[in-house]
Chains A and B, each alone.
Chain A
Amino acid sequence: MDYNFHWRPVFNKLPDLLEAGLLTLEVSLLSMVIGTVLGLLLALAKLSPLKPARWFAITWIELARNTPALFQLFFFGFGLGAFGWHLSPFLIVLVGLSFNNAGYLAENFRGGFQAVPENQYRAARSLGMTAFQATTRIVIPQVFKIVYHPMTNQMVWAVLMSSLAMMVGYRELAGETQFLASKTFRIFEYFLAAAVIYYVIVKIILGLSRLLAWRLFRYE
């Protein structure tokens, strides 16, 4: 083995990498928030009796789940260019991830809604609650418990997926790593550092999620 590892340049750029790691967290979290709202709407649309709403939801959900995430980023990056819409690299990533998250989360939410017994809703209505109150106070908290674990997984998935940003020129952790590596040709060293940071981010998310679950779901 005649390769000499050079760790010092990587070490010197660690602050840059960590800062880029924050961007990774930011774009993933943001895409989860947007994905959750859209996913809820899609789930309700898919359960609704309105045919156009159902078809719209099904199309979105199936496209998000049955094509590569990278394809989806390319679509929002280059495909929309055909119609003269040019998004910034950040927006490409955010829109792409949100689209993907919404599709996967919608299916989780739909399963959650179907798992809460119809009678919970009826019992709430029999006490004089409005449809909105019964849904937000009684049904959704129970759905949330069911989808909590899948949502955690989706958050991890969003972080991993956000590395695709590198392919569309956004400099979050993977993009920044590639940028720095290409300047110094210490590709292996830089990407190993990035891998460690991703690993730590994922573990922190899983740890926090477990902690939060323990606080939130004491009623089991």
Chain B
Amino acid sequence: MIEIQNLHKYFDVHHVLKGIDLTVEKGEVLSIIGSSGSGKSTLLYCINGLEAIQQGEVIVDGVSVHDKGADLNRIRQNLGMVFQQWNSFPHLTALENVALAPRIVKKLSKAESLAIAEQQLKHVGLADKLDAYPSSLSGGQQQRLAISRALAMEPEYMLFDEATSALDPELVGEVLETMRMLAEEGMTMICVTHEMGFARDVSDRVAYFHDGVMEEIGTPDQIFGTPVSQHTQKFLANVR
């Protein structure tokens, strides 16, 4: 379970998150929507400690992420993250990209880590690309590679930061398909996304962020059918 309590985040003088309270249960898929600059991506970075926070708390499975003594490297193993720019490591093959962290972070043997990597790459449909370098993969393939790289750490939670925003339109489908598959397998997911179709069909809940505040949260039917906040109504009218 991820519990976020009264979270405040500043970049210098900019107050980008203004007191977020949010709980995500095991097995839940939460989509976060909202215009750019609303603080939704920053929230993900605060959850796995890539950004410091100024007030409040983030608790993952009972452990407070921003405590001084927190073992961030351990916590992050449990929180897979997929970025907008897919960030595949260009000097490693697909197989090595996925096998590296299990080997050096989890200290698995070389054979074990390679076996896990192969299995995870097959899982996302890249079985024929094991020895390919990222430069020879399409954006969609690289993003699926990034997903399998995160999955190889066997996290219980996956954070997606606009995973399809940087892709060419014809490549969005394959990545969404992979995310849908994960959701069906019961993975706990927080997806910052601009794909309203995905948010509506796959999520258990949808949250709308506006100017550092979580304006509204509810089932997809509630948010897309009968939004309460004026901001939400306006946003949805524009994206449709």
Contact = CB atoms under 8 A, between A and B. Distances in A.
Question: Is there direct touching of A and B in the complex, by C-beta distance under 8 Å?
Answer: yes
A119 B82 CA distance: 11
Contacts of B83: 119, 122-123, 126
27 contacts: A117-B85, A117-B87, A119-B87, A123-B89, A123-B146, A124-B89, A124-B101, A126-B48, A126-B50, A126-B76, A126-B79, A126-B150, A127-B77, A127-B100, A127-B149, A127-B153, A128-B74, A128-B77, A128-B101, A128-B106, A138-B89, A142-B90, A145-B91, A218-B133, A219-B135, A220-B133, A220-B135
A137 B99 CA distance: 13
B105 interface: yes
A220 B79 CA distance: 31
Interface in A13-46: none
Contact of B133 (A130, A142, A219): A219
A81 B10 CA distance: 56
In which size bucket is the chain B interface?
20 to 34
A126 B90 contact: no
Interface of A: 117, 119-120, 122-130, 133, 137-138, 141-142, 145, 218-220
Nearest to B51: A122
Interface core residue of A119, A145, A218, A219 (most chain B CB under 10 Å): A219
B238 interface: no
B76 A128 contact: yes
Interface of B: 48, 50, 73-74, 76-77, 79-81, 83, 85, 87, 89-93, 100-101, 104-106, 133-135, 146, 149-150, 153
Given A137-B100, A219-B135, A127 B105 contact: yes
Contact of A122 (B50, B74, B89, B133): B50
Contact of A120 (B79, B87, B93, B149): B87
Given A125-B50, A126-B50, A126-B81, A133 B105 contact: yes
Nearest to A144: B91
Given A120-B87, A122-B87, A219-B90, 17 more contacts: A119-B83, A119-B85, A122-B50, A124-B89, A126-B76, A126-B79, A127-B77, A127-B101, A127-B105, A127-B150, A127-B153, A128-B74, A128-B77, A128-B105, A130-B73, A219-B133, A220-B135
A125 B45 CA distance: 11
